[in-house]
Amino acid sequence: MRYKPQILVIDDEKDIGNMFKKTLIPEGYTVLTALDGESGVKIVKEKKPDIVLLDLKMPGMDGIEALRYIKKIDKNIVVIIITGYGTVDTARMAVKFGAFDYITKPIDIEYVNTVIKDGLKLALRAFGHRMKEKEISMKIQSQRAKLAKLKHCKETHACFWEVALRAFVLGDDNLMAEWMEDPEISKEDKLELIKIAEVLKADTS
């Protein structure tokens, strides 16, 4: 099933949220709405949307404060500020606080679509990095049990799988070099280490 990017609209004007639902859902997005900053931040915690459209001026928690909370929850969530003509300077300040961009009222939906698509590229890139990290972590865990059974360990050295893991996944070549230069480790064990390292490198590349 095709992934539907999730957009959260936080705006105290109900008509704005409804307008975005009407225009963005047919474009293939899932659209959530909140009428104030507090409710919006709560939805961000629960749903982790890809993009947040955030009104700058709201009663209670305003857009700048909500932006700060959202970025604390997940710095990779793309936040697009919605602002009126009189608060453009504040919207520009919001960009310095981590907002991706801002759009002005009255809303030009074609321009909004362009900004959303640009923001989504950034959001999906960050999502891809997170998924890659999770994928590598899962592969490491699956290999760990098998490789630990080899029990080629010394009192002052890590097991083979850990050496290979650090060398080829975490980029730590020092431990690998120590093993290769250690005269107490047999040539056969060193060859075994290289073989395991190459397997791990292939699996995680």
Q: What is the mean pLDDT of the chain?
A: 77
pLDDT for position 54: 95
pLDDT for position 149: 46
pLDDT for position 127: 57
Residue 69 has pLDDT above 60, yes or no: yes
Nearest one of 60, 65, 50, 46 to 9, comparing CA atoms: 50
17: Cβ contacts below 8 Å, ≥ 6 apart:
9, 11, 33, 34, 35
The most distant pair of C-alpha atoms in the chain lies apart, rounded to whole Å, by 75
CA distances from 22 to 2, 7, 111, 154 (A): 20, 13, 16, 65
Please, which pLDDT band fits residue 1 given cuts at 50, 70 and 90?
Answer: very low
Instruction: Beginning with the edge strand found earlier in the chain, give each strand of the sheet holding 101-104 in spatial order.
Output: 30-34, 6-10, 51-55, 78-83, 101-104
C-alpha to C-alpha distance for 98 and 71, rounded to whole angstroms = 7
Domain boundaries along the sequence of the chain:
6-130, 150-204
Question: Mean pLDDT over residues 45-63, rounded?
Answer: 91
Please, which pLDDT band fits residue 126 given cuts at 50, 70 and 90?
Answer: low
Question: Mean pLDDT over residues 21-47, rounded?
Answer: 94
Nearest one of 16, 101, 25 to 34, comparing CA atoms: 16
At 35-49, the pLDDT tens digits run 999 999 999 999 889
Residue 6 has pLDDT above 50, yes or no: yes
Residue 202 has pLDDT above 70, yes or no: no
Residue 134 has pLDDT above 60, yes or no: no
- % of the chain with per-residue pLDDT over 70: 63
CATH architecture, domain 6-130:
3-Layer(aba) Sandwich (3.40)
CB-based burial, 90-117: b 16+ in 10 Å, e otherwise: bbeebeeeebbbbbeeeeeeeebeebbe
